[in-house]
Structure 1
């Protein structure tokens, strides 16, 4: 298949699945796990499949402060996120296999600006914007949870 045709097919499939997600609304039934950030307990949804990761927190109008979404990738790589169809401001924590936050990025709603990890990671945790800053949690901080083996 010609590379341009391959790209167009991929784009159409991506657009179609995003459109289908918009028809059904936000993802609210994903599996959940508990994470800790010091004394703070987080209840996060886990997006593990390609489709779940692609939809992420799109179409949500609000999210409780102690909740978030953990994106789990098959292998460590530079992960980049944007906020298309995402209605609430979020902070992305790019997280190493052991739970250490590599870097944080505040992201504006409905923006195609790309926010990337500074090192290869398998995990990205999205929380309401300011959640990490209010608790003085920065790069180098280690999160806990079964997913990180801690």
Structure 2
């Protein structure tokens, strides 16, 4: 059986636990809306022809970038894959084991489109390089960049790209 001294000894510990729990709850409540705002599946290209929204998968590991869109049989017209190389560097792609034509949009760390390769041919192993260092490459359905009027100098908005 406990006596009054045990209860008095336990009270400060209980108050501290409630304070910590309350703090964690407050941090969670504030952070939840922020997490919802940083949806990495939404990418916007700001072009002369307007804003174009894409739903993207982000790949940022050597393994996921190497696989990319290989073996896919289709890609929705406003869907794509965003490759994040984590720092600017010269990159090149090929179409080995890729079954659908793709446009490759090469983007620098600040979100500016540097160059676009239109309609990369399925299964072609020819190297498709960036025109200089880039951090990101957006792959979208082949010919889509021409349909939308995308061009070098356009701006890309995504949670991984710092706002300008």
TM over 0.5: yes
Aligned to 1:77: 89
Aligned length: 120
Aligned to 2:141: 128
Q: Output the TM-score relative to the length of structure 1.
A: 0.76
Aligned to 2:62: 50
Shift of 1:32: 4.7
Q: CA separation in 1, counterparts of 2:56 and 2:40?
A: 5
| Structure 2 unpaired stretches of 5+ | 1-38
Superposed, 1:1-150 pairs within 5 Å as 32-38=40-46, 39-106=51-118, 107-150=120-163
Shift of 1:40: 1.8
Aligned to 1:15: none
Shift of 1:41: 1.3
For the aligned residues, what is the CA RMSD?
1.3
Q: Output the TM-score relative to the length of structure 2.
A: 0.70
Q: Residues 32, 59 of structure 1: CA spacing in aligned structure 2 closer, same or farther, 3 A cutoff? A: farther
Larger radius of gyration: 2
Q: CA separation in 1, counterparts of 2:105 and 2:53?
A: 16
